């Protein structure tokens, strides 16, 4: 049986980090962002690579490389040209409707 070597592993979010020292938390967050950026560049990302508390946002990657990043790092991965709206369903201009037809909050 051959072993498959995974190129990256899921990284904990800073709020999940067990480190209590603020410097260690900042260092872990910086390391996470650098690894995501490096991996995105290797996959062909152009422009800025943003890692925020909700997602990885890249420019120049088709769906398969974004899917790879998303499942490898455990974050959503979005295309900069197709922004997702906060508190709405993905790229939809409106959010989910409640049963009575009013916008759900």
Q: Could you tell me the pTM of the whole model?
A: 0.62
Domain with 25 in it: 14-79
Task: Return averaged pLDDT per consecutive 10 residues of the chain, 105 residues in all.
Answer: 49 58 74 91 92 89 92 88 70 63 64
CA 67 – CA 76 distance, rounded (Å): 8
Establish if 70 belongs to a structural domain.
Answer: yes
Report the domain count for the chain: 1
| DSSP symbols for 11-51 | PPPGGG----SHHHHHHHHHHHHHHHHHHHHHTT-EEEEEE
- 90 inside domain: no
């Amino acid at each position: 049986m051959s072993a498959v070597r995974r190129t990256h592993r899921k990284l904990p979010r800073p709020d999940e980090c067990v480190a209590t020292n603020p410097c260690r938390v900042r260092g872990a967050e910086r390391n996470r962002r650098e690894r995501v950026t490096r991996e995105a560049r290797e996959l062909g990302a152009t422009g800025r690579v943003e890692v925020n508390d909700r997602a990885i946002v890249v420019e120049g990657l088709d769906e398969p490389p974004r899917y790879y990043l998303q499942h490898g790092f455990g974050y959503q991965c979005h295309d900069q040209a197709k922004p997702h709206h906060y508190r709405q369903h993905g790229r939809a201009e409106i959010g989910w409707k409640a049963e009575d037809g009013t916008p759900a909050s």
